Amino acid sequence: MPTFQENLERYADLLVRVGVNLQPGGKLQLNAPIDAADLARLIAKKAYEAGALVVDVRYSDPLLARATYEAASDAALDYFPAWGAEESLHKIEEGYAYLSLTGSDPDVLAGVDPTRIARSSKAYGLGMKRVADLMSASAVNWSVAGIATPGWARKVFPDLEVDEAVAKLWEAIFTVSRADVDDPVTAWREHTATLRRVVDHLNERRYDALHFTGTDTDLTVGLADNHIWAGGSEVAQTGIEAVPNIPTDEAFTAPHRDRVNGHVRATKPLSVRGTLVEDIRVRFENGRVVEATASRGQDTFVQLLDTDEGARHLGEIALVAASAPVARTGVLFYNTLFDENAASHIALGRAYSINVEGGLDAMAASGANDSLIHVDWMIGSADMNVDGIREDGTTEPVMRAGEWAF
Amino acid sequence: MPTFQENLERYADLLVRVGVNLQPGGKLQLNAPIDAADLARLIAKKAYEAGALVVDVRYSDPLLARATYEAASDAALDYFPAWGAEESLHKIEEGYAYLSLTGSDPDVLAGVDPTRIARSSKAYGLGMKRVADLMSASAVNWSVAGIATPGWARKVFPDLEVDEAVAKLWEAIFTVSRADVDDPVTAWREHTATLRRVVDHLNERRYDALHFTGTDTDLTVGLADNHIWAGGSEVAQTGIEAVPNIPTDEAFTAPHRDRVNGHVRATKPLSVRGTLVEDIRVRFENGRVVEATASRGQDTFVQLLDTDEGARHLGEIALVAASAPVARTGVLFYNTLFDENAASHIALGRAYSINVEGGLDAMAASGANDSLIHVDWMIGSADMNVDGIREDGTTEPVMRAGEWAF
Ligand SMILES: [Zn+2]
Ligand SMILES: [Zn+2]
Ligand SMILES: [Zn+2]
Ligand SMILES: [Zn+2]
């Protein structure tokens, strides 16, 4: 059995070679919480060994963000410098790959006034809108992966000593990321080929809508005109094929912002800005959330819906087999990157322009949604059925009892 | 006696209110090693409480830098992006204050090929030249202060357990930074007034040169034409008075690059890019180092001298009373910010444009030196005498046995 250090090295190598598929002479921006310094250094080493011209590491600090939300004036929360997006735009123009590590304590912002967080997020979202648009259009390769931190591990395994919890969380990350096998790069090649077959089938069938049925759920999700299913690896505008999310087990596309009807319940809790929102139930009418309840965190959830006009419409529908590795671990990660691969899900807010033919410019006309937010939440389960509805009204099974049915 | 946490809060407050003297609505960039996250958060809090509009924290990681020097290609070491200085130039234009925390393990780069470090430093120095020029001309307020880290504390107190060493190093930092008194802000007001009297006296006397005599030292340092002595607080081009170094006990000015003659020995070891250089002895002829030896680290020191043409000339001469607090602690900090306040010192390399009338544009004509480097090393001791030589050749005592003599 490989040691922890061996697994960590394989993982770093996987993120560089598969996650962003860094080329010789390539430029890399690595975003990492300060807790992830060990892994960040290892990734920098692997990237330079792969021939990187520059690895620019940007450390973030969730506790600093918390201190800011608590102490900053309203003017400070609203502040975003006029030149704040310039460096990112330079980097995108030069084809930098972006690798981001996520793994903060999901509760790090618990108790902070959510209106203050929303205020700051909105200022940042507005200031960085062009960058987010380019990223969602895959102007450059980007990838997001996990890092086990004490704060996160404590949340996932509250009954273990913290060292044990961190070790166990790393083990889970390595497993669902397929990093603990002999040859992770080959394993990923096979895995993305499998997802490619699903995506190709769905693109070939060109469904007008999907119909979800299951416990407390009867939802029809119209798909955007000229929608494109994506999943697994993706070819960025740089021409380089890479994997935006590690792990990833989803096939996803853009819903039509005005053609979603029915009701749906969340099958997992959702962590919104530090608040856990439980038992979400939502009703859609003509694409818009007209009713939303939760047994816990309802205020926070409604605040999220009120971020802007697009926040009450869907920007993503994603299908995940109930037998995917994240589901098999049985672990609730309290982190979307992982939990979204445990179940089929929908996202409120911004659609990805890669999910529409013609990209960014064609989104509005195709009915793809726009918003400052993009928040995924799980609706899938082992009792979920999904049918594809074709233009002529005929239906075909897509999933049965949570598994692919074609 | 105040607790550690109380001292840390006073220290954070001191750095914000005295170090950069942040104004309501002010903008702050805080540069901190990831080890300094606790203090960084506290400083952000104090800054926002003082009315900051934005606190932009940039975390650095010395071990990441080490990984880069070890694994990066030569092309990567030489790389600096064309737009790399833009953000700093925006910030300077907008009057951001810069607060930097220093406290890495002095040996963190030990064993790394110094030519690789020099290569990378040179690329950075060239790319950021305009920014460094503006900073040295006090275009905005900036301040540098210390942070006790385990790696640094182990070096300073090798015989103590690491926790004890860190506690003791903090104690020393608080003491020499005058942060552990009841009212640090008032203590600093008095301290900078004392330094102001020294600086005013030296500016009034307008010496042509200083003559240093002591053990193994007989050195005449010609001063730049129209030189200006500075020390303690400084009024930046923003009009705001602040303190560039905490602690600071020096009065300093610009030597004439071509009028330094004689020999001098270092009275303390010098840490250069992770290598400790000991027993430096140097001979100057017409301003240029023509002979340089060291009992340890001589290669590293000579490499430093060969960075560029200006690296063999002096850019600073600084006078410090042998009774200053850093000297009184008896601690060798292995960190210039602290050790330079234990003794009179000289710096190889770039002069500060604030030390010449007319500033940046007047430097070359005044004989002030330019270089990519600025490295201070200690020549003062309790047996050092310093005389001021006036234009007419008469001399006056400036220091006797290491203490002010006027
Ligand atoms: Zn998704
Ligand atoms: Zn999503
Ligand atoms: Zn100095
Ligand atoms: Zn200096």
What are the backbone angles phi and psi of residue B291, rounded to the nearest 5°? -150, 135
Residue A361 Cα, gap to closest chain B Cα (Å): 29
Count of alpha carbons within 13 Å of A42, Cβ hemisphere only? 17
Cβ of B72 and A41 within 8 Å? no
In chain B, which residues have their Cβ closer than 8 Å to the Cβ of A60?
Answer: 59
Residue in B with minimal Cα distance to A64 = B41
Peptide bond into A247 cis (omega under 30): yes
d(CA B153, CA B74): 33
pLDDT in tens, A218-236: 999 999 999 999 999 999 9
Give residue A173's pLDDT. Answer: 97
Cα B302 to chain centroid distance, Å, stands at: 21
Cβ of B75 and A94 within 8 Å? no
- The backbone region for A209, taken as left when phi is positive above 0, alpha when psi lies in -120 to 50, beta otherwise, is beta
Residue B90 Cα, gap to closest chain A Cα (Å): 8
d(CA B17, CA B26): 12
Q: Is the pLDDT of residue A29 over 80?
A: yes
Interval B27-55 mean pLDDT: 97
pLDDT in tens, B329-355: 989 898 889 988 999 999 999 999 999
Q: Is the pLDDT of residue A403 over 90?
A: yes
**CA B314–ligand 1 middle distance (angstroms):** 60
Give residue B37's pLDDT. Answer: 96
| CB of A63 less than 8 A from some CB of B | yes
Helix, strand and coil in chain B, % to nearest 5: 40, 30, 35
Count how many pairs of residues, chain A against chain B, have C-beta atoms within 8 Å.
Answer: 104
Number of Cβ atoms within 10 Å of the Cβ of B130? 12
Cβ of A59 and B94 within 8 Å? no
| CB of A61 less than 8 A from some CB of B | yes
**Residue A394 CB burial class (10 angstroms; 0-12, 13-18, ≥19):** exposed
In chain A, which residues have their Cβ closer than 8 Å to the Cβ of B41?
Answer: 61, 63-64, 67
d(CA B82, CA A86): 13
Interval A11-34 mean pLDDT: 97
Interval A303-332 mean pLDDT: 94
pLDDT in tens, A233-246: 999 999 999 999 99
In chain B, which residues have their Cβ closer than 8 Å to the Cβ of A32?
Answer: none
Residue A44 Cα, gap to closest chain B Cα (Å): 7
Give residue A272's pLDDT. Answer: 85
Contact B108, B66 (CB under 8 A): yes
- DSSP code per residue over A124-153: HHHHTHHHHHHHHTTSS-EEEEE---HHHH
In chain A, which residues have their Cβ closer than 8 Å to the Cβ of B44?
Answer: 64, 67-68, 71
- Average model confidence (pLDDT) for chain B? 95
- What is the biggest distance separating any 2 CA atoms in chain B, rounded to whole angstroms? 58
Structure-token match 């960190």, residue found:
B335
A330 three-state secondary structure = coil
Confidence of residue A107 (pLDDT cuts 50, 70, 90): confident
Structure-token match 């397929």, residue found:
A178
ipTM field: 0.84
In chain B, which residues have their Cβ closer than 8 Å to the Cβ of A39?
Answer: none
In chain B, which residues have their Cβ closer than 8 Å to the Cβ of A34?
Answer: 34, 37, 59
Nearest CA to A374 out of A132, A177, A124, A143 is that of A132
By Cβ distance, the residue of A54, A75, A90 closest to B76 is A54
pLDDT in tens, B157-172: 999 999 999 999 999 9
Give residue A274's pLDDT. Answer: 72
Cβ of A79 and B53 within 8 Å? yes
Q: Which residues on neighbouring strands pair with residue A282, listed in sequence order?
A: A264, A292
Give residue B132's pLDDT. Answer: 93
Cβ of A73 and B48 within 8 Å? yes
**CA A293–ligand 1 middle distance (angstroms):** 22
By Cβ distance, the residue of A68, A81, A90 closest to B48 is A68
Strands B241-242 and B234-235: antiparallel
Instruction: State the sign of the Cα–Cα–Cα–Cα dihedral A17, A19, A23, A24.
Output: negative
**CA A137–ligand 2 middle distance (angstroms):** 14
Nearest CA to B120 out of B156, B73, B86 is that of B73
pLDDT in tens, B249-268: 999 999 999 999 999 999 98
Confidence of residue B1 (pLDDT cuts 50, 70, 90): confident
Which of A124-138, A161-175, B305-319 is the least confident region? A124-138
Number of Cβ atoms within 10 Å of the Cβ of A197? 13
Token digits of residue B201: 């006296």
Nearest CA to B92 out of B140, B149, B127 is that of B140
Find the angle CA(B71)-CA(B77)-CA(B83) to the nearest 5 degrees: 130
Instruction: State the sign of the Cα–Cα–Cα–Cα dihedral B351, B356, B359, B360.
Output: negative
| CB of A8 less than 8 A from some CB of B | no
**Residues 6 or more apart in contact with residue A317 via CB below 8 angstroms:** A210, A221, A223, A252, A253, A254, A255, A345, A346
Q: Is the pLDDT of residue A273 over 80?
A: no
Residue in A with minimal Cα distance to B27 = A76
| CB of A24 less than 8 A from some CB of B | no
Give residue B128's pLDDT. Answer: 96
Q: Is the pLDDT of residue A53 over 80?
A: yes
d(CA B382, CA B403): 8
Confidence of residue B276 (pLDDT cuts 50, 70, 90): confident
pLDDT in tens, B87-145: 999 999 999 999 999 998 888 998 899 899 989 999 999 999 999 999 988 999 999 99
Cα A234 to chain centroid distance, Å, stands at: 14
By Cβ distance, the residue of A44, A63, A71 closest to B64 is A44
Q: Is the pLDDT of residue B2 over 90?
A: no
Residue in B with minimal Cα distance to A49 = B71
**CA A255–ligand 2 middle distance (angstroms):** 12
Confidence of residue B275 (pLDDT cuts 50, 70, 90): confident
Contact B176, B325 (CB under 8 A): yes
d(CA A26, CA A51): 7
| CB of B37 less than 8 A from some CB of A | yes
Give residue B137's pLDDT. Answer: 86
Contact B169, B124 (CB under 8 A): no
DSSP category for residue B311: G
Cβ of B54 and A90 within 8 Å? no
Give residue A395's pLDDT. Answer: 97
What are the backbone angles phi and psi of residue B300, rounded to the nearest 5°? -60, -40
Peptide bond into A33 cis (omega under 30): no
Residues B71, B75, B78, B80, Cα dihedral to 10°: -100
**CA B344–ligand 3 middle distance (angstroms):** 8
Residue A109 Cα, gap to closest chain B Cα (Å): 14
- The backbone region for A228, taken as left when phi is positive above 0, alpha when psi lies in -120 to 50, beta otherwise, is beta
**CA A313–ligand 1 middle distance (angstroms):** 15
Cβ of B83 and A71 within 8 Å? no
Q: Is the pLDDT of residue A88 over 90?
A: yes
**Residues 6 or more apart in contact with residue B183 via CB below 8 angstroms:** none
Give residue A283's pLDDT. Answer: 98
**Secondary structure element (H or E) that encloses residue A389, with its range:** strand A385-389
In chain B, which residues have their Cβ closer than 8 Å to the Cβ of A25?
Answer: 75
Would you tell me which residues 78-97 of chain B have a C-beta closer than 8 angstroms to some C-beta of chain A?
79, 81, 83, 86-87, 90, 94
In chain A, which residues have their Cβ closer than 8 Å to the Cβ of B60?
Answer: 59
Nearest CA to B352 out of B206, B220, B252, B272 is that of B252
- The backbone region for B331, taken as left when phi is positive above 0, alpha when psi lies in -120 to 50, beta otherwise, is beta
By Cβ distance, the residue of B41, B59, B71 closest to A45 is B71
Token digits of residue A268: 């997992």
Instruction: State the sign of the Cα–Cα–Cα–Cα dihedral A341, A346, A352, A355.
Output: positive
By Cβ distance, the residue of A53, A55, A70 closest to B75 is A53
Residues B177, B182, B186, B190, Cα dihedral to 10°: -60
Cβ of A76 and B34 within 8 Å? no
Percent of chain A with pLDDT over 70: 100
Q: Set out the domains of chain A in order of their start, with CATH numbers.
A: 4-176 (3.40.1830.10), 206-231+248-404 (no CATH)
Cβ of A67 and B94 within 8 Å? no
**CA B264–ligand 4 middle distance (angstroms):** 17
Residue type, B3: T
Q: Which residues on neighbouring strands pair with residue A265, listed in sequence order?
A: A281
d(CA A144, CA A245): 5
In chain B, which residues have their Cβ closer than 8 Å to the Cβ of A73?
Answer: 48, 51, 53
Interval A350-369 mean pLDDT: 94
Residue B337 Cα, gap to closest chain A Cα (Å): 25
d(CA B257, CA B355): 13
DSSP category for residue B356: B
Q: For residues A211 and A137, which has the higher predicted lDDT (pLDDT)? A: A211
**CA A217–ligand 1 middle distance (angstroms):** 19
| CB of A1 less than 8 A from some CB of B | no
| CB of B357 less than 8 A from some CB of A | no
**Residues 6 or more apart in contact with residue A406 via CB below 8 angstroms:** A201, A396, A397, A398
